[in-house]
Amino acid sequence: MSKPIAIAIDGPAASGKSTLAQALAEQLGYLYFDTGAMYRAVTLVALNRGVNLEDEDTLEKLAREIDIDLKPASKKDGRLSDVFIDGVDSTFAIRSKEVDNNVSAVSALPRVRKALTEKQRAVGERGAVVMAGRDIGTVVLPDAKLKIYLDATPEERARRRHAELLERGITPSYEQILNGLRERDKIDSGRAVAPLRPAEDAVCLKSDGLSREQVLEKAVELARERQDSNGDGNAPKPYHVPFGVRLFRSTFAPLFRLAFRILCRVKIDGRENIPKVGPYIVAYNHISLFEPPLLLAFWPMFAEAVAGADVFDRPGQKILVRGYGAIPVHRGEYDRRVIQDMLKVLAANRPLMIAPEGGRGHKPGLRQGFAGVAYLMDRARVPVVPVGIAGTSDDLLKRALRGQRPEVHIRIGRPFNLPPIEGSGEQRRAARQANADLVMRHIAAQLPEEYRGPYKPI
């Protein structure tokens, strides 16, 4: 059975591992996590506060206490992600020359590494993540299904770093960069704690003479091989969809797309955020009867869908949900069989669509997400794709037939992964609800303000 895997990418400074990790994560629909940014963040804070970089006690305390948050890149200005320290955008501040010159010393401290490694490992153990750093395959994720060691000569790496800085308007000396990288390699490879080296089972990729696209192509090929061999070592068995259901879907999709195009003005943003491979969950807001067929009709591949069990008995609606092969769910109830059915869909590398609110709201304004949805997502550990739909209503068809052609806006957000649910009893229930609320906040970020209800965007 194929399941999402954890991918570790290691390599020396300026080898391109962060660039590869981000591109690979986007290609697979995985979470991209640059661990080096965390060490840089601690180094930056320490420098700004005048902390002695040999004071391991204070640096460990900083590593545990400061809030370091990585988010998808908000601007196309060379950044691979947005890095926030205690809520302040520090994306380029952590890449300063002063941080470059001191981060190796900070990252070599055992207790600092332990503090940050604990945070990193918790993310990596969920799977569906690509981590880049210098000890990911050897220390942070020793059980990662795929480990890549990306390398290049110091001269090639210096050339790339020099070109990158020139693009940002910085004019450094190539010789200074080359000497700095050589010194950095010496420190990273010779440190007593987690020295830079390939894991024994890592695949070594030399990127000299290769374009970014060629390196990515090799990495994607390796990832797909590992995905297909995951679990019991066999290729994943296809999720069985009856012939009648497949025929209905093939007929349903083009007819409904045409109908919606005629009756409404449909606008779709964010198609590039839809993962190309691997399983994922589509989480959308639910106002009326029209969101599920609208989303299913315009999604680029047939996704499995979830519908309330009561819908299967309603005249008219039951023809659609039964014909499409939707999975019936009793709202507010735990049904082990239904959970297993949904997990089987995801294990077969298929997308699953679900409304975390549990049912129609009949008017704009998000309602609280069901904790049961977070339980499923924690069991599945796959990326979640948030979708916000604005412009639908219970009277959409009547308005359309009166010639108003209402505008319906579908906005697809970037995939994200939820933190693992830990603890027991009340603590675990609270964590599930917190995750459900986090999903709703991601959906809120795709909606106009009047649709967000109690949720502030992520």
Residue-level pLDDT at 4? 79
Integer Cα distance of 96 and 418 in angstroms: 31
pLDDT band per the 50, 70, 90 thresholds, residue 230: low
pLDDT at 218 over 80: yes
- Mean pLDDT over 10-22 rounds to 89
Integer Cα distance of 241 and 246 in angstroms: 7
pLDDT band per the 50, 70, 90 thresholds, residue 8: very high
pLDDT at 22 over 90: no
Q: In whole angstroms, what separates CA 184 from the centre of its chain?
A: 31
pLDDT band per the 50, 70, 90 thresholds, residue 235: very low
Residue-level pLDDT at 336? 65
pLDDT band per the 50, 70, 90 thresholds, residue 229: low
Residue-level pLDDT at 90? 93
Residue-level pLDDT at 232? 44
pLDDT at 410 over 60: yes
pTM equals 0.51
Residue-level pLDDT at 13? 86
CATH 3.40.50.300 boundaries in the chain:
6-228
- Angle between helix 243-263 and 317-324 (nearest 10): 130
- Mean pLDDT over 107-136 rounds to 85
Taking the alpha carbons of 263, 264, 270, 273 in that order, is the dihedral positive or negative? negative
pLDDT band per the 50, 70, 90 thresholds, residue 154: very high
- Residue 83 phi/psi, 5-degree rounding, is -115, 120
- Mean pLDDT over 184-211 rounds to 82
Beta strand pairing call for 203-206 and 384-390: unpaired
Per-range mean pLDDT, top range of 42-46, 80-84, 107-111, 401-405: 42-46
For the chain, the average pLDDT equals: 86
More confident residue, 228 or 441: 441
Per-range mean pLDDT, top range of 123-127, 157-161, 346-350: 157-161
Integer Cα distance of 32 and 409 in angstroms: 28
Architecture of the domain whose range is 6-228: 3-Layer(aba) Sandwich (3.40)
